[in-house]
């Protein structure tokens, strides 16, 4: 609670309050003579006036001594009176009746009464000093050296780091080399006025987040509105209450710090996204990468069991070819082949899991599972074989040997996730299904596509396949039934299990 002696010094508003009550009581006769239709509003005004009178007596009787409570209640009462006066003046329009003049005088008395709060300079406000002050770097922009000094000294008392600029040019020079938490901006400046500087500041993507409090002796309401619309946090009039200024600065700096934290979070998120794109972008289609970024839960790096279709492709006789070419030519041959095949795999939303020399291991169903994984793997294999003619045409133009490829596809469960150590890891799949695929591929002739029985059973497409044959693969006890894929019917899109067909040749 404030010292009572100090509070009594603030009671210079009481004569104005009593005068206001007296003037309101005189409205009743004017209204009944000139505008009886406003009697309802006058009655309401009288009721508020009565509350103001009771409030004034309570303060004088010592029933209310808190400075903050007095001005909180007083501003509410006076604001209500001003509101009714403005509503009645709008009804009178441009009429110069004595009633209109009386309302204007009431409005002026209200404003004078409210101004008393700002005129009181010696009220003790120690208990209202922020208990959790936030300090930061504050930039004062004012062309008057004396005004800057006063602000600087107040701010330094609050442990702020203070920078000073005498105008817009110096302001932007300081902002270019300093991390500023808040700007105190004067409205009237020689080069460019504060509201124009504010608009320019908010257009800069790197500076727009800095809170701006306009501190000015200009009380032009339109200029205040312009500053708020341009993005000012607040507008304080000179002479200012330094405790109020400190509180608003602390709030502004706190918001800036929160924005900085959010920006760091956004930057970290962008870095993570760039990392995902750099790691997975080489092996996954853009669609899959975007899906992973939108739904990170779709990528379980801890390891998860999935049903996938594994595709393995290998150049036939590559060892002999590589022995007959210099290393640079071998790399060129591989790049022609692997580049084309990778694009086709990603076109069908497959994941290029690994390049093993001239071999490609691709997965359909991880990290994102779809119902048509095996169908897309089959279509992908057919397009890969079809692309060999184009690859060999390119090889021919570059004086490289023609090559041929075998492809195997197998469907079954795998464990998918981050495989490796903390220092080095990759996303991949492991399990019996992968091993079976490799064994099937070893039995695949040039230009052929071999499908496991599990893949044929899993797909929905109308397939043209050869006779079944069994493979006894090394390291696998059970025989594997495989089919040579001849083609896929164009009308296969949209087929269901009920009308699925397998055409054997």
Mean pLDDT value of segment 92-115 = 79
* Range of lowest pLDDT (5-19, 25-39, 153-167, 281-295): 281-295
Token pair, residue 123, equals 């009220």
CA pair distance 317, 314, nearest whole angstrom: 9
pLDDT at residue 498, as a whole number: 39
Q: What is the mean pLDDT of the chain?
A: 80
Print the SS3 string covering 91-157. HHCCCCCHHHHHHHHHHHHHHHHHHHHHHCCCCCCHHHCCCCCCCCEEEEECCCHHHHHHHHHHHHH
Res. 285: pLDDT tops 90: no
* Range of lowest pLDDT (16-30, 305-319, 387-401, 462-476): 462-476
pLDDT in tens, 395-428: 999 999 999 999 999 999 998 876 666 556 567 7
Beta bridge partner(s), residue 311: 362, 409
pLDDT at residue 289, as a whole number: 65
Res. 297: pLDDT tops 60: no
DSSP strand E in 328-382: where?
A: 351-356, 359-364
Break the chain down into helix, strand, coil percent, rounded to 5. Answer: 55, 20, 30
CA pair distance 258, 260, nearest whole angstrom: 5
* Range of lowest pLDDT (77-81, 265-269, 444-448): 265-269
CA pair distance 301, 422, nearest whole angstrom: 12
The fraction of the chain above a pLDDT of 70, given in percent, is: 79
Token pair, residue 447, equals 């230009």
Give the closest residue to 407 by CA, choosing from 443, 431, 356, 363: 443
43/301: higher pLDDT:
43
pLDDT in tens, 117-157: 655 544 444 444 444 566 788 899 888 887 788 788 778 87
Helix axes 327-347, 388-397, angle to 10 degrees: 150
12/7: higher pLDDT:
12
pLDDT at residue 408, as a whole number: 95
Res. 279: pLDDT tops 50: yes
pLDDT in tens, 158-205: 788 899 998 888 999 999 999 888 888 887 787 777 778 888 888 888
Task: Please report which confidence band the pLDDT of residue 482 belongs to, taking 50, 70 and 90 as the band edges.
Answer: very high
Helix axes 242-280, 145-157, angle to 10 degrees: 80
Res. 261: pLDDT tops 90: no
* Range of lowest pLDDT (31-40, 224-233, 287-296, 480-489): 287-296
pLDDT at residue 76, as a whole number: 81
Task: Please report which confidence band the pLDDT of residue 377 belongs to, taking 50, 70 and 90 as the band edges.
Answer: very high
Task: Please report which confidence band the pLDDT of residue 277 belongs to, taking 50, 70 and 90 as the band edges.
Answer: low
Tell me the domains of the chain and their CATH numbers. 4-124 (1.20.120), 129-261 (3.40.50.2300), 286-504 (3.30.70.1230)
Instruction: Name the pTM for this structure.
Output: 0.48
Task: Please report which confidence band the pLDDT of residue 382 belongs to, taking 50, 70 and 90 as the band edges.
Answer: very high
Mean pLDDT value of segment 354-382 = 91
CA pair distance 17, 53, nearest whole angstrom: 8
CA pair distance 285, 363, nearest whole angstrom: 12
Mean pLDDT value of segment 290-303 = 59
Mean pLDDT value of segment 340-364 = 89
Res. 495: pLDDT tops 70: no
pLDDT at residue 173, as a whole number: 92
pLDDT in tens, 43-67: 888 898 899 999 888 888 878 877 7
Say how many C-beta atoms besides its own lie within 10 A of residue 12's C-beta.
12
pLDDT at residue 4, as a whole number: 46
């Amino acid at each position: 609670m404030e010292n009572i002696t100090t509070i009594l010094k603030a009671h210079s508003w009481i004569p104005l309050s009593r005068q206001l009550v007296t003037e309101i009581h005189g409205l009743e006769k004017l209204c009944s003579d000139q505008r009886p239709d406003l009697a309802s509003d006058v009655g309401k005004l009288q009721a508020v006036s009565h509350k103001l009178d009771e409030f004034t007596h309570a303060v004088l009787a010592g029933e209310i001594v808190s400075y903050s409570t007095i001005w909180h209640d007083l501003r509410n009462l006076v604001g209500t009176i001003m509101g009714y006066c403005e509503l009645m003046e709008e009804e009178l329009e441009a009429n110069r009746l004595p009633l209109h003049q009386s309302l204007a005088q009431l409005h002026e008395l209200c404003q004078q009464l409210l101004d008393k709060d700002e005129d009181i300079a010696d009220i003790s406000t120690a208990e209202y000093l922020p208990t959790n002050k936030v300090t930061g770097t504050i930039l004062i922009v004012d062309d008057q050296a004396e005004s800057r000094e006063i602000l600087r000294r107040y701010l330094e008392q609050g442990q702020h780091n203070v920078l000073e600029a005498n105008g817009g040019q110096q302001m932007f020079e300081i902002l270019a080399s300093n991390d500023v938490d808040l700007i105190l901006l004067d409205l009237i400046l020689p080069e460019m006025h504060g509201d124009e500087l504010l608009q320019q500041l908010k257009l800069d993507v790197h500076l727009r987040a800095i809170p701006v409090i306009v501190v000015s002796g200009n009380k032009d309401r339109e200029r205040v509105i312009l500053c708020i619309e341009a993005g000012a946090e607040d507008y304080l009039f000179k002479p200012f209450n330094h405790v109020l200024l400190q509180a608003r600065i602390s709030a502004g700096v706190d918001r800036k710090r929160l924005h900085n934290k959010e920006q760091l979070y956004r930057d970290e998120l962008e870095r993570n996204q760039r990392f995902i794109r750099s790691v997975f972008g080489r092996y996954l289609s853009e669609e899959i990468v975007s899906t992973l970024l939108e739904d990170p839960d779709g990528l379980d790096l801890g390891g998860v069991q999935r049903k996938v279709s594994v595709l393995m492709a290998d150049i036939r006789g590559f060892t002999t070819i590589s022995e007959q070419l210099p290393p640079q030519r071998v790399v060129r041959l591989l790049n022609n082949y692997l580049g084309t095949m990778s694009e086709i795999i990603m076109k069908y939303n497959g994941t290029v899991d690994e390049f093993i020399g001239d071999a490609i291991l691709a997965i359909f169903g991880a990290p994102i599972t779809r119902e048509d994984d095996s169908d897309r793997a089959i279509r992908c294999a057919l397009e890969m074989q079809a692309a060999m003619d184009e690859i060999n045409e390119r090889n021919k133009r570059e004086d490289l040997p023609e090559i041929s490829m075998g492809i195997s596809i197998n469907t079954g469960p795998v464990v998918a996730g981050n495989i490796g150590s903390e220092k080095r890891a990759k996303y991949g799949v492991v399990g019996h299904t992968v091993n079976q695929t490799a064994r099937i591929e070893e039995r695949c002739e040039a230009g052929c596509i071999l499908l496991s029985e599990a893949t044929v059973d899993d797909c929905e497409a109308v397939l043209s396949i050869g006779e079944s044959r069994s493979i006894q693969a090394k390291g696998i006890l059970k025989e594997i039934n495989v089919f040579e894929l001849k083609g896929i019917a164009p009308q296969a899109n949209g087929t269901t299990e009920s009308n699925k067909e397998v055409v054997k040749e």
